[in-house]
Structure 1
Amino acid sequence: MESKIPFNQPFLTGMEEHHIGLALKSGKLCGNGAYTQKCQHFFESHYHFHKCLLTTSCTDALEIAAILLDIEPGDEVIMPSYTFVSTANPFVLRGAKIVFADSRTDHPGIDELSIEALITPKTKAIVVVHYAGVACDMDVIMDIASAHGLWVVEDAAQAIDAYYKGRPLGGIGHLGTFSFHETKNIISGEGGLLVVNDERFVKRAEIIWEKGTNRSAFFRGEVDKYGWVDIGSSFLPSEIIAAFLFAQLENLGPIQKKRLEIWERYYEGLKEFAEGKNFRLPSIPQYATNNGHMFYLVFKDLQKRSDLIQKLKSKDIHAVFHYLSLHKSPFFAGKHDQRELNNSDEYTDCLLRLPMFYDLTEQDQNRIIETILE
């Protein structure tokens, strides 16, 4: 019998237990200890991000971003409809009206050229999602934001080690966020990161992160006592999570190399068949790099995608679709302004994600490719 091929399988470097053990021996298990500092320093030094704060999830990082931007009831925030609910929830929780934009025809990312028409006097921010780790056209977006006095948040949940014209994603907008969920390239089970690129937000971000207190400033000796100075929440992960993450970050290079090899093997194995218009393969614009996060196919219609899902399932291969357009969700449908977002709906119906994880063997990957060609 052939073994089952899961959609995802978390990768362990083998050093997670070692670092967790050191964290346990340190006697400090709550947040903002040595391993939290190590992880934050890694991102600040490796990618030259201005200020980084480790969080318990990417959602938490986005919640801090929404608070930092002083999002209030009546404010409008533009974002793609084809994304996970976590992109929208932090802004909805602050009372914002979400204005959903369509995706590009060649890529599930936001249609940059559709953004300006959605701006009103109430618009306060643009949230972009670098789908599959592939950059949105950030020059276009930042120019639009600058012209209209808007903030830009990069939801870079899938985009670790991905670049736009040589600049790391997450480091271009005013704020950036990352995820270390077990489905991502670099993981800690759950976990996230806030990147603060605008100096104006640094001090307050740290306060919000520390439950609304100036505790971090106190421990640095900058104030003689700390107290409640702003709103905030308990956004810090434990040292156990940070230690696990650090073991992954130490192996970022080998992990990325292997994932890109798997991605390229899919592309080479399927490109000839795709040229026959059976489906579309992922598109990487010239200004973007590929970080090997995801490999997907886009079919002509829902039925063709459903047929392949069932075919793969019959061979014990687990492939899955992705987001459902948020503007048509049960929660939001009545709040949408009735614009048709055709590309977002097409990806909802036609996009299929193939198994993609570090330990996917060449033999199993060939089996997946052969089943698709069959």
Structure 2
Amino acid sequence: MKIPFNKPYFTGKETKYIEQAVRNGKISGDGAFTKRCHEFFENKFGFKKVLLTTSCTDALEMAAILIDIKEGDEVIIPSYTFVSSANAFVLRNARIVFADSSSNNPNLDVDQIEGLINDKTKAIVVVHYAGIANDMQKVMDLAAKYGLYVIEDAAQAIDSYYRDQPLGAIGDLAAFSFHETKNVISGEGGMIVINNEKFMDRAEIIREKGTNRSAFFRGEIDKYGWVDIGSSFLPADVTAAILLAQLENLDKIQQRRKEIWAIYHKALTVLAEEGYIKLPVIPEYATNNGHMFYILCRSEKERQGLIQHLKKHDILAVFHYLSLHKSTFFHKIHDQRKLPMTDYYSDHLLRLPFYYELSPDDQELIIKLIYEFYSQC
């Protein structure tokens, strides 16, 4: 493709830091670069405790273990999300209760949550789609009222805020992704944020195969052993080396991504005003972190036509999630509630090419071709 949907951006320091990690003689987990990444997030965003993981999926699986999900527990999750948001809890034998999306953006409709809560409900998982915050005050009020845990799936939400609070700092736990499609990357990689202090010690143990090895390496105990369930969730230090190079350039990366987002938004506003497409809505309580730019087409057929029109010119635009409640795995156990907004986004949402090095000329061409397509509709 002349213009791909995504292209990883490298700052230039990644290979230097990888070499340093190798020279340090410790390339397994929790080396010097991992420590520096932890310090970055705790200092910049005020997260109480962070732990790098091999993926956001693993961070979510850790969260499910930490809140002690058991068979019979129910977890409320949006249906319009990546499978990991739900699968982490399915693995612990929870019953997933899917919530519909909002009418003005793909995040879950917080006004529907209370009607889904019963005495088996244990947690609410919010997904900050495209880095745009859910209405977290409403979510946290409901959690406090019913004694529920809140887990933020902040895979796309680095450096984004709910009012003045960083996303990932609000719920009991949060999970981030550093997959190569995200704003800052390590190839594969993720992070769990622990805001509820009662989970801090156990999080280290679960991440280290169920052992208290981390405490041993800090000299807090004279030997370590198997004390809990867990798995090997920590990434190699060379992965953290790549991530640190990205984090040191976070402000620069964010500035450029927000510029690209603003250009799309301004240029496509006329099409939106004429009723051909809908543009992303950012609520007054949320910020925009420039994670992606999507449009909403008038029909699934129209969306496919636009995809093909762009593809003819070697430009890749892609749709996103398929409704999880209708998935091959889940549809037979879904409670048959209709989730019309979830299906709407599944059928109408189209993501445009979006990456740091997207040139002004290439972005102009994408916009021109979108107008060309709709001039023929």
TM-score (norm 2): 0.98
Other-structure match for 2:291: 293
Structure 1 window deviating more from structure 2 (150-159 vs 308-317): it is 308-317
Amino acid in the other structure paired with 1:214: N
Q: Mind listing any 5+ residue stretches in structure 1 that lack a counterpart?
A: none
Structure 2 match to 1:352: 350
Give the corresponding residue for 1:230.
Answer: 228
Deviations 1:28-76 (A, max 9, x none): 0100111110001100000000000000000000010000000001100
Deviations 1:185-234 (A, max 9, x none): 00000000000001000000011011111111111111111100000000
Instruction: Tell me the equivalent position of 1:85.
Output: 83
Which residue identity is paired with 1:260?
Answer: K
C-alpha separation in 1, matches of 2:205 and 2:275: 53
Deviation at 1:301, TM superposition (A): 1.1
Task: Find 1:322's aligned residue among 320, 323, 327.
Answer: 320
Aligned partners of 2:138 and 2:247: how far apart in 1?
A: 31
Q: Quick one: percent identity of the two aligned structures? A: 63
Which whole-Å CA distance do the structure 2 matches of 1:159 and 1:168 have between them? 9
What is the DSSP-based 3-state SS (H/G/I as helix, E as strand, rest coil) of the residue aligned with 2:199? helix
SS at 1:322's partner residue?
coil
Mapping 1:90-129, distance limit 5 Å: 90-129=88-127
1:280 aligns to what SS in structure 2?
A: coil
Task: State yes or no: 1:254 paired with 2:232.
Answer: no
Deviations for 1:174-194, whole angstroms, at most 9, x for unmatched residues?
A: 001100000000000000000
SS at match of 2:39: helix
Q: Which amino acid aligns with 1:304?
A: E
Deviation at 1:154, TM superposition (A): 0.0
Q: Paired residue for 2:375?
A: none
Q: Which residue of 2 aligns with 1:366?
A: 364
Answer yes or no: is 1:312 the counterpart of 2:310: yes
Q: Structure 2 CA distance, aligned partners of 1:298 and 1:273?
A: 11
1: CA distance, partners of 2:44 / 2:353: 29
Name the amino acid aligned to 1:357: Y
CA RMSD of aligned residues (A): 0.6
| Separation in 2, partners of 1:306, 1:139 | 37
Q: Which amino acid aligns with 1:45?
A: N
Equivalent residues, number? 372
SS of the residue corresponding to residue 335 of structure 1 reads coil
Give the whole-Å Cα distance in 2 for the aligned partners of 1:174 and 1:300.
38
- Partner SS for 1:194: strand
2: CA distance, partners of 1:292 / 1:213:
39
Residue 279 of structure 1 aligns to a residue in which SS?
A: coil
TM-score (norm 1): 0.99
Match of 1:33 in 2: 31
In structure 2, list runs of 5 or more residues that go unmatched: 373-377
Aligned to 2:242: 244
**1 CA distance for matches of 2:166 and 2:26?**
32
Partner of residue 44, structure 1? 42
| Residues 285-316 of structure 1 deviation map (CA, whole Å, 9 limit, x = unaligned) | 00000000000001121111111011111111
State the AA in 2 paired with 1:291.
N
Amino acid at match of 1:182: E
